[in-house]
Amino acid sequence: AQKVTQAQTEISVVEKEDVTLDCVYETRDTTYYLFWYKQPPSGELVFLIRRNSFDEQNEISGRYSWNFQKSTSSFNFTITASQVVDSAVYFCALSERGNNNDMRFGAGTRLTVKP
Amino acid sequence: ETGVTQSPTHLIKTRGQQVTLRCSSQSGHNTVSWYQQALGQGPQFIFQYYREEENGRGNFPPRFSGLQFPNYSSELNVNALELDDSALYLCASRLLGQPKGYTFGSGTRLTVV
């Protein structure tokens, strides 16, 4: 069974601090995809990144970076120099090719960035 | 590109009633999934439709059903509403093989009283 754990329920930082959101996953499939989504108060889930199981390269996009480690089944998300606009709930999700690629989400981490 | 549109945005229903939620997917997106997000929790997968047929289902009872239409719209129907059905219902669509994965709508907030 596929499962995603986001152990951090809430994180609060001061603007310009770096923050890392943790994500640990479980899967029996060898082909799978990992996602991060941002959910602002409006409710819409905003796509941030997709990573497939065969690509362990870390990725950087502006202030965002992702660290994928298959050895520890983790896909962590770091925001550098956080800003107030980064305040939102962030979800990590997993989809398996064997499950028609439907996504299973973690419980989410609420990030609050204070000015 | 057009986004995913859901209607209505908010809805209040009485326990035992039936409800239909609607979603208009991006043009060309042949796959749509529905999710239930209870307050303070992550979205839970309800089911997925591909080319108008259900091809995946989460741990939801049969009173949750759906339809997908050729014009890229879809419906989520819930019969015999229970108080625990109160949640944000999210529709997500994609084109098979699209690198970004799903595009989500803003959801319908359903309150069952």
Per-residue tens of pLDDT for chain A, all 115 residues: 669 999 999 999 999 999 999 999 999 888 888 999 999 988 889 989 988 898 888 888 899 999 999 999 999 999 999 999 999 999 999 988 765 567 889 999 999 999 9
What is the pLDDT at residue B17? 98
CB-based contact, B60 to chain A, within 8 Å? no
Q: Is the pLDDT reported for residue B1 higher than 60?
A: no
Q: Which of A9-13, B21-25, B79-83, B100-104 has the lowest mean pLDDT?
A: B100-104
Residue among B98, B97, B102, B93 nearest B24 (CA): B93
Q: Which chain A residues contact residue B50 at CB under 8 A? A: 100
Across the interface, whether the CB atoms of A107 and B100 are under 8 A apart is answered no
Residue pair A92/A106 in contact (Cβ under 8 Å)? The answer is yes
Backbone angles phi, psi at B36, to 5 degrees: -110, 130
Residue pair B50/A100 in contact (Cβ under 8 Å)? The answer is yes
Across the interface, whether the CB atoms of B43 and A45 are under 8 A apart is answered yes
What is the pLDDT at residue B72? 84
- B-chain residue closest to A48, CA distance: B100
Residue pair B107/B7 in contact (Cβ under 8 Å)? The answer is no
What is the pLDDT at residue A101? 63
What is the pLDDT at residue B27? 81
Q: Is the Cα dihedral B56, B58, B60, B66 positive or negative?
A: negative
Compute the average pLDDT of residues B9-28.
94
Burial A42-57 (b: 16+ CB within 10 A, else e): ebbbebbbbbebeeee
Rounded CA-CA distance A89/A111 in Å is 6
CB-based contact, B104 to chain A, within 8 Å? yes
What is the pLDDT at residue A78? 97
Alpha helices, DSSP H, located in chain B: none
Q: Which chain B residues contact residue A6 at CB under 8 A? A: 42
From the list A4, A100, A108, the residue facing B55 with the nearest CB is A100
What is the pLDDT at residue A100? 58
CA atoms in the 13 A half-sphere facing the CB of A18: 7
Q: Which chain B residues contact residue A102 at CB under 8 A? A: 33, 45, 48, 56, 58
Q: Is the pLDDT reported for residue B28 higher than 70?
A: yes
Q: Is the pLDDT reported for residue B71 higher than 90?
A: no
- Copy the structure tokens of residue A18: 């770096």
Q: Across chain B, what does the average pLDDT equal? A: 91
What is the pLDDT at residue B30? 85
Most confident of B11-20, B32-41, B87-96: B11-20
**Which runs of E-coded beta strand occur in chain B?**
5-7, 10-13, 19-24, 31-37, 44-50, 53-57, 64-68, 73-78, 87-94, 103-104, 108-112
Across the interface, whether the CB atoms of B56 and A43 are under 8 A apart is answered no
Rounded CA-CA distance A2/B58 in Å is 12
Residue among B31, B39, B50, B34 nearest B90 (CA): B34
